[in-house]
Structure 1
Amino acid sequence: MPRARLRVAGGGRALSLGARGLAAAGMLLALLAATPSHAGESRYALLIGAHRGNADEPVLRYAGSDTERLRDVLVSLGDFLPENVLVLADPNADRVRTALARMNARIREEVAHDRSSVLLVFYSGHADAESLHLGGTLLPWEELRNLTSGSAAAARLLVVDACRSGQATRVKGTRLAAPFALPPDVETRGMPEGFAILSSSSAGENAQESDALQGSFFTHHLVAALRGMADHGGDGLVSLAEAYQYAADRTVASTVATMGGVQHPTYLYDLKGRSELVLTRPGRVRGLASVRLAEPGQYFFRKERREGPVVLEANISREARTARLMPGRYFVQRRLPDRLYEAPVQAGGEQSVDLSAAPWSVVELDQLVRKGGGPSTSYALSVWGGGGSGVLEGFPFTPAASVQLSLDTAALTLDAQVELARSVLVSEGLERQLTATALRAGARKVFDLGAFSLSGGVRLGATYFDQRFSGRLAPPRWQLSPHLDTLVRADVRPTRGFFLGVEAGLRASYVRVSSEQAPSARTPVTPVFALGAGMRW
């Protein structure tokens, strides 16, 4: 769980909050956070996205996307007028200084006319413990902090999503400097009243961006929080406390398995004497589609199609939530530990959509593994019956039964099989009994087509033949015959976890032949087929 620093105005010392104290901190933050928005309040935002830092740092891909998404949600849900929101794409340090100084001048004019105001400054890009890295120029952290906290706005919020590294391909081989962290001087110098800072990571950690999300983890979850996912009280409002708590929890969960390591977002603030700072009002804005998420699971909303970018991620455990989205077509995925639900959803303006009634299709665990999502493996145990043309001379058909254990991975499905076959042939008063025991292992490539799966592959094995005679005295015969199978297979899933299958193929065997002349060998190629049923887990 995230660790946070909480400073209460009035000279009290900072309190360090662990997992148990974080919920209490959120409640206290809700009681202390800044002035509520009202008709006479002006809201300003400066959003900075910097893809390029210093020359030795990897180029970030989604800093600009972070700022655009945050701008959209602030304008549509947060009472920020479009003309009061400035997005700076890849600026240098001087441009940031100038833009923030001009915004502060506008805010001073508001104050002169007795109008309250809120200032939000957001940065997505590279940084270290001393400064922000802006295309080869440096903006000292102390300067940005002073420009923000010194504003005449009644409430000032600084959000820093400072990435020193990207996903795996942008971490590998990169020499990392000291990552951004909230400076320790705040402990001794104190926080200006009405000022709050949110950071995407704590000291010693690296903020990260995700190719799957097409944005940074922290900003992605912060935007989801502002769209209604953090509305714990169900009043249609998202406060600073609710937004931070949701974004922090989801960032920790999303970065547990990443190469960059777990991120623990942090905050510092002093908002004494004010009621709750409402950042967005998703439940009170007209023109947006309401999507209710009632069933537990992890939800991904993708724009228009399965391969589209993720525009919203939400984790539902017990409490149902309502997300507010722009009208349009979405492809929604609901992840559970052992399967994935998928459905196209059309969200119209001011339309209420209950996902419980969506036309869900189910992707089972093995299919989910092959899609590269969720667990890395799944297993199946199945029983098969069938047979094939006899390998030994005189046996036209050999019925067989087998048990098969399969391991599904993202690349291939691996099979291990034990088979028992038995055949009896009577000819000219002589009864010949043939018992064949086989062990095989192989691999298949599986292609999923909804409830059906088609696969093809090979298996390598060996069969132990034991042939005995009745009706005359003759010694038993045995031999070990290696063989190679090539096969195709089709599976269908009538119910969850259960499947029926059919497979057919050709078997090339190596068989020794005894005769009155010199022993010889042959390599018969015979057809085989089988029907089976099994369970996956």
Structure 2
Amino acid sequence: MNTLRSFILSLALVTTFLITLLCAGPRHAAAAEPRRAAVIVGANGAAPGRKPLRFAHDDARAVARVLTQLGGFHAGDVQILTDPEPRGVLDALDRELQRAATRPAEPLLLFFYYSGHADAHALYPNGKPLLLTELRARLDSKTAQVRIGLIDACRGGGWTGTKGLTETEPFEIDLPGLVTNEGSALVASSSGLEDAHESELLRGSFFTHHWNAGLRGAADRNGDGRVTLAEAFDYAKVLTIRDTAVHTSVPQHPSFKFNLSGRQDLPLSTLSHSKTVVELEQRQGPLEVIHLDSGLTVLEVQPGEKALKLAVPPGRYLVRRREEGKAWVREIRVTPGAITRVSEDHLELAVAPLLASKNAEPRPVTRSTLPGRTWEIQAAFGVNHSSFDRPGFSSSTGTDSTFVLPLQGAWGITDRLQWILPTAAFAYRVGDHGGFEWIPWGGLLSWSLFHTDHTVFAGRLGLGSDFRFWLTPRSSLDLGLGVSSRFITSDRVVMCTEGECPPLGSDAASSFGVVRNRMALGYSTTIADVVTLGIAAGVSHNLLVGGDTPQGAAEHDVELSVGSVLMRGLRPQPLVRVHLGDVFSIDGYASAGYRFGTSSRTESYMLGATWTW
């Protein structure tokens, strides 16, 4: 009897356990993260009686980039349709829904985006009507567990840049109530009674631009590294109303309705998906992040003390805070796969005319000193018969070379202090870009080492200052002053025979007998951010010869030269520099001069390259 009772009790426990597993399975499956798919439509084509749009395609591609980079959408699950036929839009949605229907164990989050013309009854991809009732049938489908729609469209408007350029009577686009099933949400860029606006400055619509910026981290209110649907909408709404109130006659009020059954916190982007991150520490704000190569304001941070992670593409950016007609800025370089940190405390007061203009900040290679933690290598080959030689390592010991291979590096220890490699020379910048800059420098400027029948080590010690006066954001006048002295040390190694070694005699020598001065005045300008031209005139002569003042023309050894004779912070400035991006440039050096002491002409011409990273 006891055995039977024990058996029945064991059977009951096992049955309870199995029932628990069966019940737990569906709940676990329901909690699985859904597959994310998107249909992205950009329609520049004109609707009947309206003019084409300019930036709807750009808006669509920008939305797709954010979804694939940060939203957990695989590239193969994101369809970008530019000016498609209406049937093509519906077919794309149908394909996703059919795939979800055949895989019920794989939940689907379906994201739909449209940028283009619309009216009260239809969207207009490729200028042809797509009835809202047709779209409603797809976005009402429960086949997709979660459906999100973002419609950036409006009625006609005036010449101010609205999407559509024909005035009509106000109407209500029947979109916010379009999706009513559980697990659905829809965002519209206007209330339906208003225009949605494009911006020439943003090269896209106000709402889509701010929506994408929010997903890149600017909308992360609680700093948890994720941006939810509600956070992205609230951020985009505030800035869209602000911008359209400033630039248009009627502000644009985005609208938002959803039914997500407790999923109002649905995350749309996760910043940890990006390995390229800017960690921004804001004390007061609001801070703006401007992409320098395009001049576009990528994102803005709402006022208040906060620490944010921002996922932006690699490139050069300007972090800016404006207040009472003044601006504090800092240029940063965002490198792939790295974390770039910047604090509002490190921003510097900038010259107002240089702010927010396209490419207002110079490329690192054209700056007076390198940005902090930036490396640069300059290499060249050619002929140099001039006393206006350059720092670094060279295959030559003097100015009589017929062929030289100068090599020089630089490291930005800070934004102001740089070390010239492979020497022991340093330069420090006082002042800021756009105004007046003073760059004192000094140390072991150059050296060379070679061996024939004896070893020769030669070098040049010097100190001086460079001055840069900015005329425009892209052009400046330069003045360089400096003194230097060469030294040559040689040691001959000879064989000793039968215990006798000959004396070294004159083969061992060291000389600092000549102290030489140089002065150069030049002008440089960067054209279209592609080519930098620099021309200078310089004079060089001996201040001391053998410890005494020089006597006569031969000892003074005055040289006058024109061309690439200018240095800036000990970094040689070429006659022509072609920028092939921020990292690499091709340099051309050339100069011609006259040496009065010897009544001879001098020349220098070299071809080189510069790498900056």
> Which deviates more from structure 2 when the two are superposed, residues 169-178 or residues 130-139?
169-178
Q: 1:170 to 1:250 in 2, by over 3 A?
A: closer
Quick check: 2:217–2:310 contact (8 Å CA) kept in 1? yes
Q: Equivalents in 2 of 1:304, 1:166: separation in Å?
A: 32
Q: Equivalents in 2 of 1:370, 1:346: separation in Å?
A: 16
Aligned partner of residue 51 in structure 1, secondary structure: coil
Quick check: 1:301–1:310 contact (8 Å CA) kept in 2? yes
Number of the residue aligned with 1:223? 212
Q: 1:217 to 1:190 in 2, by over 3 A?
A: closer
Quick check: 1:157–1:195 contact (8 Å CA) kept in 2? yes
What is the identity, as a one-letter code, of the residue corresponding to 1:243? A
Matched, 1:252 2:241: yes
Number of the residue aligned with 2:594? none
Matched, 1:294 2:282: yes
Q: Equivalents in 1 of 2:158, 2:320: separation in Å?
A: 23
Q: 1:247 to 1:172 in 2, by over 3 A?
A: closer
1:56-112 C-alpha deviation (Å, 9 max, x unpaired) = 21221111111111111111111111100000011121111111111211222332x
Q: 1:450 to 1:164 in 2, by over 3 A?
A: farther
Q: Equivalents in 2 of 1:125, 1:242: separation in Å?
A: 24
Matched, 1:353 2:341: yes
Quick check: 1:197–1:267 contact (8 Å CA) kept in 2? yes
Question: Aligned to 1:322, which of 290, 301, 309?
Answer: 309
Number of the residue aligned with 2:117? 126
Larger Rg: 2
How far residue 342 of structure 1 moved from its aligned partner, in angstroms, is 3.2
Quick check: 1:55–1:136 contact (8 Å CA) kept in 2? yes
Matched, 1:209 2:198: yes
Number of the residue aligned with 1:504? none
Quick check: 1:36–1:278 contact (8 Å CA) kept in 2? no
Give percent identity, aligned residues only.
Answer: 33
How far residue 212 of structure 1 moved from its aligned partner, in angstroms, is 0.9
Q: 1:329 to 1:125 in 2, by over 3 A?
A: same
Q: TM-score if structure 2 supplies the norm length?
A: 0.50
Q: Equivalents in 2 of 1:326, 1:370: separation in Å?
A: 19
Number of the residue aligned with 2:99? 106
Matched, 1:193 2:182: yes
Quick check: 1:303–1:309 contact (8 Å CA) kept in 2? yes
Quick check: 1:331–1:344 contact (8 Å CA) kept in 2? yes
How far residue 164 of structure 1 moved from its aligned partner, in angstroms, is 4.0
What is the identity, as a one-letter code, of the residue corresponding to 2:60? T
Quick check: 2:50–2:164 contact (8 Å CA) kept in 1? no
Question: Aligned to 2:329, which of 323, 342, 345?
Answer: 342
How far residue 296 of structure 1 moved from its aligned partner, in angstroms, is 3.1
Matched, 1:115 2:106: yes
Q: TM-score if structure 1 supplies the norm length?
A: 0.57
Number of the residue aligned with 1:529? none
Q: What is the 5 A alignment of 1:67-466? A: 67-111=60-104, 114-164=105-155, 168-170=159-161, 174-178=165-169, 181-183=172-174, 186=177, 191-274=180-263, 276-282=265-271, 284-305=272-293, 307-348=294-335, 349-356=337-344, 358=346, 360-364=348-352, 367=353, 449-450=434-435
What is the identity, as a one-letter code, of the residue corresponding to 2:317? Y
Quick check: 1:42–1:118 contact (8 Å CA) kept in 2? yes
Structure 1: 5+ residue stretches without partners: 1-34, 373-447, 456-537
Q: 1:204 to 1:144 in 2, by over 3 A?
A: same
Q: 1:169 to 1:157 in 2, by over 3 A?
A: same
Q: Equivalents in 1 of 2:176, 2:231: separation in Å?
A: 27
1:198-236 C-alpha deviation (Å, 9 max, x unpaired) = 100013210001111111111111111111111111111
Q: 1:320 to 1:101 in 2, by over 3 A?
A: same
What is the identity, as a one-letter code, of the residue corresponding to 1:258? H
Q: 1:55 to 1:280 in 2, by over 3 A?
A: same
Q: 1:100 to 1:190 in 2, by over 3 A?
A: closer
Aligned partner of residue 316 in structure 1, secondary structure: coil
Q: 1:137 to 1:120 in 2, by over 3 A?
A: same
Number of the residue aligned with 2:42? 49
Q: Equivalents in 2 of 1:319, 1:52: separation in Å?
A: 42
How far residue 290 of structure 1 moved from its aligned partner, in angstroms, is 2.4
Aligned partner of residue 60 in structure 2, secondary structure: helix
How far residue 171 of structure 1 moved from its aligned partner, in angstroms, is 5.2
How far residue 47 of structure 1 moved from its aligned partner, in angstroms, is 0.6
1:463-520 C-alpha deviation (Å, 9 max, x unpaired) = xxxxxxxxxxxxxxxxxxxxxxxxxxxxxxxxxxxxxxxxxxxxxxxxxxxxxxxxxx
Aligned partner of residue 302 in structure 1, secondary structure: strand
Aligned partner of residue 215 in structure 2, secondary structure: helix
Q: Equivalents in 1 of 2:249, 2:29: separation in Å?
A: 37
What is the identity, as a one-letter code, of the residue corresponding to 2:279? V
Aligned partner of residue 290 in structure 1, secondary structure: strand
How far residue 53 of structure 1 moved from its aligned partner, in angstroms, is 2.8
Q: 1:95 to 1:151 in 2, by over 3 A?
A: farther
Higher relative contact order (CA 8 A, sep 6+): 1
How far residue 169 of structure 1 moved from its aligned partner, in angstroms, is 4.7
1:296-355 C-alpha deviation (Å, 9 max, x unpaired) = 3344433343x5333333333343433122233223333223212333211232313124
What is the identity, as a one-letter code, of the residue corresponding to 1:75? T
Structure 2: 5+ residue stretches without partners: 1-27, 359-432, 437-468, 473-613
What is the identity, as a one-letter code, of the residue corresponding to 1:104? L
Q: Equivalents in 2 of 1:286, 1:279: separation in Å?
A: 14
Aligned partner of residue 302 in structure 2, secondary structure: strand
Q: Equivalents in 2 of 1:317, 1:170: separation in Å?
A: 32
Quick check: 1:130–1:180 contact (8 Å CA) kept in 2? no
Q: Equivalents in 2 of 1:37, 1:224: separation in Å?
A: 31
Aligned partner of residue 297 in structure 1, secondary structure: coil
Quick check: 1:288–1:325 contact (8 Å CA) kept in 2? yes
Q: Equivalents in 2 of 1:291, 1:216: separation in Å?
A: 27
What is the identity, as a one-letter code, of the residue corresponding to 1:450? G
> Which deviates more from structure 2 when the two are superposed, residues 288-297 or residues 116-125?
288-297
What is the identity, as a one-letter code, of the residue corresponding to 2:280? R
Q: 1:179 to 1:235 in 2, by over 3 A?
A: farther
Q: Equivalents in 1 of 2:273, 2:163: separation in Å?
A: 44
Aligned partner of residue 223 in structure 1, secondary structure: helix
Q: CA RMSD in A?
A: 3.3
Q: Equivalents in 2 of 1:249, 1:146: separation in Å?
A: 31
How far residue 260 of structure 1 moved from its aligned partner, in angstroms, is 4.7
